[in-house]
Chains A and B, each alone.
Chain A
Amino acid sequence: MEVVNIENVTRVYRVGKVETQALRGVNLTIASGEFTALVGPSGSGKTTLLQMIGCLDQPTSGLVVINGRDVTKLNRNQRADMRRGTIGFIFQFFALIPTLTASENVEMPLLLNGHSPSARHARVLELLKAVDLTDRANNRPDQLSGGEQQRVAVARALAPKPTLVLADEPTANLDTENGKQVMEIMERLNKETGTTFIFATHDPRVIQYAKRVVTLQDGLVVKDTGEKA
Chain B
Amino acid sequence: MLQILKMAYRDLGRNRRRSFFSALAVGGGLALLILLASVVEGEMGGALENAIRLQSGHIQIRAASYDENKTSLKWEDLVPNPEEISTRIAAVDQVKAATPRLYATGFLSSGTQSAGAKITGIDPLSPASDPYREGVISGQYLSPEDRDAVLIGRPMAEKLNLKVGDNVGLSLNTADGNVQEQILTVKGIYTTNTYGFDSATVFLPLAKAQALTRTENHASTIFVLLDETSMTDTVAPALSVSSSLQVKTWKDLNTLFVEWEDLAQSYIGFLYLIILAISVSVIINTLIMSVYERTREIGILSAIGMRGGRILALFLAESSLLAIGGVIMGLIIGVLGTMYFNVNGFYVGNMGLSGIAITDTVYAKLTMENLINLTIMTFVATILAGLYPAIMASRMPPVEALRAEK
A residues sitting closer than 8 Å to B (CB atoms) are 51, 54, 56-57, 76-77, 80-85, 88-89, 91, 93, 95-100, 108-109, 111-113, 156, 160
Q: Which of B109-135 contact A (CB under 8 A)?
A: none
Interface residue from A91, A108, A109 paired with B402 (Cβ < 8 Å): A91
What residue in chain A is nearest B302 (Cβ atoms)? Answer: A80
Q: Are A56 and B304 in contact (CB under 8 A)?
A: no
Q: Are A83 and B7 in contact (CB under 8 A)?
A: no
Q: Which of B302-324 contact A (CB under 8 A)?
A: 302-310
Q: Are A80 and B308 in contact (CB under 8 A)?
A: yes
What is the total of A-B residue contacts with beta carbons within 8 Å? Answer: 69
Known A-B contacts: A80-B306, A91-B402. Give 17 more (CB < 8 A). Answer: A77-B309, A80-B305, A83-B302, A84-B305, A88-B304, A89-B304, A91-B300, A91-B303, A95-B303, A97-B297, A98-B297, A99-B10, A99-B14, A109-B304, A111-B3, A112-B305, A113-B305
Q: Are B305 and A81 in contact (CB under 8 A)?
A: yes
Query: Would A109 and B305 be within 8 Å (CB), given that A56-B402, A99-B10 are in contact?
Result: yes
What residue in chain B is nearest A168 (Cβ atoms)? Answer: B402
Interface residue from B14, B301, B309, B399 paired with A56 (Cβ < 8 Å): B399
Query: Would A81 and B307 be within 8 Å (CB), given that A97-B300, A98-B297 are in contact?
Result: yes
Which residues in A have their C-beta under 8 angstroms from that of B106? none
Interface of B, helix, strand, loop or mixed by DSSP: helix
Which residues in B have their C-beta under 8 angstroms from that of A80? 302, 305-308
- B139 interface residue (CB < 8 Å to A): no
B residues sitting closer than 8 Å to A (CB atoms) are 3, 7, 10-11, 13-14, 296-297, 300-310, 397-399, 402, 406
Can you give 7 contacting A-B residue pairs, CB < 8 Å?
A95-B296, A96-B300, A99-B10, A99-B11, A99-B14, A108-B301, A109-B305
State in angstroms the CA–CA spacing of A95 and B301 once bound together.
9
Q: Are A99 and B304 in contact (CB under 8 A)?
A: no
Least distance between A217 CB and chain B CB atoms (Å) = 22
Least distance between B322 CB and chain A CB atoms (Å) = 16
Least distance between A134 CB and chain B CB atoms (Å) = 22
A-B pairs, top 7 by smallest CB distance, nearest first, are A84-B305, A99-B10, A83-B305, A57-B399, A80-B307, A95-B300, A56-B398
Interface residue from B296, B304, B308 paired with A76 (Cβ < 8 Å): B308
Which residues in B have their C-beta under 8 angstroms from that of A156? 304
Least distance between B397 CB and chain A CB atoms (Å) = 8
Least distance between A24 CB and chain B CB atoms (Å) = 18
State in angstroms the CA–CA spacing of A91 and B14 once bound together.
23
Which residues in A have their C-beta under 8 angstroms from that of B11? 99
